[in-house]
Amino acid sequence: MDTLICKDNLPSSSTSTTTTSDRTLVSSNGSSDSFEGPEKLLEIWFEPSPNYIIKDNSSNSSTNIGLRSIERAIWDDMLNIVKCKIISVIENDHVDAYLLSESSMFVYQHKIILKTCGTTTLLAAIPRLLKIASEYCQFHKVWRVFYSRKSFMFPERQSHPHNNWKDEVAYLDQLFDNGSAYTVGRINGDHWFLYMTSPQDDIISENDSSQLRHRAASSSTDCSLDVNMGDQCATNDLDDQTVEVLMTELSPKMMKKFYCENMNNDSGTEGGARVYRETGLKNLYPSAKLDSFLFKPCGYSANGLLEDSYFTIHVTPELNCSYASFETNIPLAHGTISEIIHQLIAIFEPGKFIVTVFKTQGYNVDKKHLVNSLSNVTGYVRKDRILYDFDGYDLVFGQFEKRNK
């Protein structure tokens, strides 16, 4: 069995911004091979909301007191376990968005979202991540955990604990209590895996009400005036939603746009900005703060921030393993999910794609509307439409294949 090695000339922990990168995969015998585009997605919540973070009144420090207070070098060390590196970072008042050599990381005060592709060992970094949260933020317990991924293209190339879904679930069960695992979709076709834990509400009850709750920048109510308003202030922050569109068998013609036009000066952030403009990706969220990167000789990644929400896009354009993913927690309005899907399929022209909408029950767009939104996509046949009712969450899953493929 060949062992794949991703050879990226990426910045070390001492590098502060960006650098160019060669995205070349080689096997142990030196021959070129394929890239595993489908990502592993981990989300760990240490508190239900930024409003639940306790401020240490014994300290005169006015700096961040949540996960955003952690220095980049600490994240570099943790990401070494995952086997990826930081390329660049953008931020706003709510979140830090890290563009990685293999996908993305988003750090809020109270939660972290880590998404990695290839043969990265994401789950192996959880013990280190929990230790960091405990040592630097006094987060000694976890409120909720979510882990998901699409079925791999090349599962035999993954390393422990990602050899198979059973091993991943066993690994997570060793770390967390009250976990549940699900397989969504056709086992003999593209499908999606989900692991989630029940909320650990004892975290909330352990908060010392004599201390002042930290007021999150996203809250419109001044929670710092009255500790008894904590639950009221956090209500909106408990609302949660993640949308993913996972596309395969992409159009060769469209994929040419995700290759470097000039190997000497078209990669990196300049090449990323060109791709963002020329492909029409900029039309998804024109006002978002963007960080994008074009790899050598091909491959594209982008993070975008819009107030307290994010979106991220990753593209593997090689014909034998073409894949593109879109993910966002930007709130959906009525009709938005259909608009997003049609914009994406116009850009990538996938042969197949999966849509997942995972949201807290009662949040924003109702379940019936989401189901209807995934009924028909022009030019595609719906192969699956599945609705799950979880502990506090709804999942709507849709799978589509190009008509007359």
Give the residue numbers of the binding site.
35, 102, 295, 318
Instruction: Give the 3-state secondary structure of residue 180.
Output: strand
Respond yes or no on whether the N-terminal peptide bond of residue 48 is cis (omega within 30° of 0).
no
Rounded to the nearest 10 degrees, what angle do helices 126-137 and 72-82 cross at? 160
**314 is annotated as an active-site residue:** yes
From the list 210, 217, 291, 289, the residue with the least C-alpha distance to 64 is 217
Give strand ranges (E) for 167-232. 179-185, 191-197
Which residues define the annotated binding site for substrate? Answer: 35, 102, 295, 318
148: Cα separation from own chain's centroid: 10
Side-chain half-sphere CA neighbours of 233 within 13 A: 23
Catalytic pick among 151, 301, 309, 322? 301
Catalytic pick among 314, 321, 325, 373? 314
Instruction: Assign 3-state DSSP to the chain and report helix, strand, coil percentages, each to 5.
Output: 25, 30, 40
**103 is annotated as an active-site residue:** yes
What token pair was written down for 262? Answer: 């000039």
**101 is annotated as an active-site residue:** no
Distance CA 124, CA 3 (A): 18
Give strand ranges (E) for 101-231. 103-107, 111-116, 144-150, 179-185, 191-197
Eight-class DSSP state of 395? E
Catalytic pick among 49, 88, 103, 309? 103
Q: Between vectors from CA 55 to CA 126 and to CA 215, what angle results, nearest 5°?
A: 95
| Antiparallel, parallel or unpaired: β 380-389 and 393-402 | antiparallel
Distance CA 347, CA 195 (A): 31
**233 is annotated as an active-site residue:** no
Distance CA 112, CA 89 (A): 14
What token pair was written down for 57? Answer: 């009144």
Q: Which residues contact 245 (CB under 8 A, 6 or more apart)?
A: 325, 326, 327, 340, 341, 344, 353, 354, 355
Catalytic pick among 49, 88, 104, 117? 117
Q: Which residue has the tokens 């692991």?
A: 195
Instruction: Catalogue the active-site residues.
Output: 103, 117, 301, 314
